[in-house]
Structure 1
Amino acid sequence: MGFGDVVQRAIHKATVVPRLSAAATRAGLGPAGTVEVLRISQTALQAAATHGSGVPGRSNALRHFMWQAVLTARFGVEAAQSIAVAQEAGSPTRKDSGVDQHNNAAGQAYGAAHVGELTAGSPADAMAVLVPVALEMWESDELVWVRPH
């Protein structure tokens, strides 16, 4: 990986909050909804780091699945898809972005089918419900990853 790739990845990571905020606003979620999107994003990141570490690709797959499941349950599939597209915008790795899209779609389907479970309580409560589901989906290869080059 060259210096330009490193810089591009750093910029992509550093601009995630503005991208997600703008996407939530465009989706019509308002200030409270935008803050909730960021809370859900942070909670998914923490849950995935805690329960997905130790196996290459697992944390990323779990994060995208859980994040999109909760966003879909709470705001609807269109808003979740819009926010996911914003997250992937400018992604420095096309293969990784494709994997993320797959795992996002799995989360969206799950979130649409389990609204009641994922809207009761806090984002952390929703992640507690989703962690075992995500781990089971990972083990059955329903969630995917790309090997680093």
Structure 2
Amino acid sequence: MGFGDLVQQAIHAGTGVPRLWTAATRAGLSASQAGEVLLISQAALKSAATHGRGVPGRTNALRHFMWQAVLTARFGREAATSIAAAQEVSSPNLKDSRVDAHNNAVGQDYGEAHASALASGSASDAVASLAPVALEKWESDELIWVKPH
């Protein structure tokens, strides 16, 4: 990976919060709902880091699944899809973006099917409840990585 690639990755990572906020409000969410999108994103990052470490690709797969499941349950699939698409804008890695789209869709399906359970309580509690589900989906190869696991 060259210096230009590293700079592109840093810019993409550094603009994540404003990109998510803007995507949430463009999807029709209120300011407080956009704030909740950020809390859900933070909770998914934290939970995935805790439960996914040690296996290449697992943290990213868990994060996308949990993030999109809770966003879908709380704000609907259309808003979740829009926010996910905004997150991938200017992504320096197209293969990773395709994998993310797959894992997002698995999360969205789960969020729709379990909306009542995921729509109540705090964002961190909703995300935490998904860690065992995400790990099961990883082990069954429903969640994927760029390389097979």
Same fold at TM > 0.5 = yes
Q: CA deviation at 1:119?
A: 1.1
The question of 1:11 aligning with 2:11 is answered yes
The whole-number CA distance in structure 2 between the counterparts of 1:101 and 1:128 is 21
| Matching residue of 1:78 | 78
| Matching residue of 2:120 | 120
Amino acid in structure 1 at the alignment position of 2:122: S
SS of equivalent to 1:146: coil
Amino acid in structure 1 at the alignment position of 2:66: M
TM (norm. structure 2) is: 0.97
The whole-number CA distance in structure 2 between the counterparts of 1:128 and 1:57 is 19
SS of equivalent to 1:79: helix
The whole-number CA distance in structure 1 between the counterparts of 2:84 and 2:51 is 22
Say if 1:117 and 1:129, in contact at 8 Å, map to a contact too. no
| Matching residue of 1:35 | 35
Question: What is the RMSD of the two structures over their aligned residues, measured on CA atoms?
Answer: 0.6
| Matching residue of 2:136 | 136
Query: How many residues are treated as equivalent by the alignment?
Result: 147
The whole-number CA distance in structure 2 between the counterparts of 1:47 and 1:122 is 14
Q: Which runs of 5+ in 1 are unaligned?
A: none
Using the aligned pairs only, state the percent identity. 70
Q: CA deviation at 1:5?
A: 0.4
Amino acid in structure 1 at the alignment position of 2:97: S
The whole-number CA distance in structure 2 between the counterparts of 1:16 and 1:10 is 10
The whole-number CA distance in structure 2 between the counterparts of 1:127 and 1:84 is 16
Say if 1:68 and 1:111, in contact at 8 Å, map to a contact too. yes
Q: Please list the CA deviations of residues 78-104 of structure 1 after superposition, one character each: whole Å capped at 9, or x if unmatched.
A: 000000000000000000000000000
The question of 1:66 aligning with 2:66 is answered yes
TM (norm. structure 1) is: 0.97
Q: Which runs of 5+ in 2 are unaligned?
A: none
SS of equivalent to 2:121: coil
Q: CA deviation at 1:128?
A: 2.2
